[in-house]
A = this chain, B = another copy of it.
Amino acid sequence: MRVLGIDPGLTRCGMGVVDGSVGRPLSLVDVNVLRTSSDLPVAQRLVTIEKGVEAWIEEHRPDAVAVERVFARSDVSTVMGTAQASGIAMVVAARRGLPIALHTPSEVKAAVSGSGRATKQQVGAMVTRILRLDAPPKPADAADALALAITHIWRGGAQARLEQAVARQTRAVPARAVPARAVPRRTP
């Protein structure tokens, strides 16, 4: 199984591709960090991220994409851009029918290091050991993207298969045809 892990961000978007399966050694395929200048309009930056993720999916043909789940309680100054970048990454993958899984930072830390409170250094060190690299991938976004891909493989891709099944089942129904009761109202 080949997994593309994406640590989304407007300024730095980490992308890591890992091959392997549960119980076997994993191997690094490629890792990169997409960067966009904060001097550009957000829309242009998002288009750059879209093209970058598309190019990587095209080149590496992953079986699944694992994206970090973004929380509103993260750093307020960057969380909006992170959410937008993650949305773009998900759309690029979903358009190709790829299974998409979201893993929280705690889940990733716990999967690779055994502790949901591991530091960046610990995550980097474990990624280095798991993938038998000479040195920790830099910057941290690169290591985080690889940790996401590792997490996804080790968790067996159960979540992704579930979501794919749901998506397949619902794809035939146009959005507007969804019965009113299926759309819960968030605000009165």
Residue of B nearest to A74 (CB): B72
For A73, the closest partner residue in chain B by CB is B76
List the B side residues contacting A163 at CB < 8 Å: 41, 43
A contact patch SS: helix
A83 at the interface (CB under 8 A from B): yes
| Closest B residue to A159 using CB positions | B41
Smallest CB-CB A-B distances: 4 pairs: A84-B87, A83-B83, A43-B94, A43-B90
Task: List the interface of chain A (C-beta within 8 A of B).
Answer: 11, 34-48, 50, 52, 70-73, 76-80, 83-88, 90-91, 93-95, 100, 102, 163, 166-167, 170-171, 175-176, 178-180, 182-186
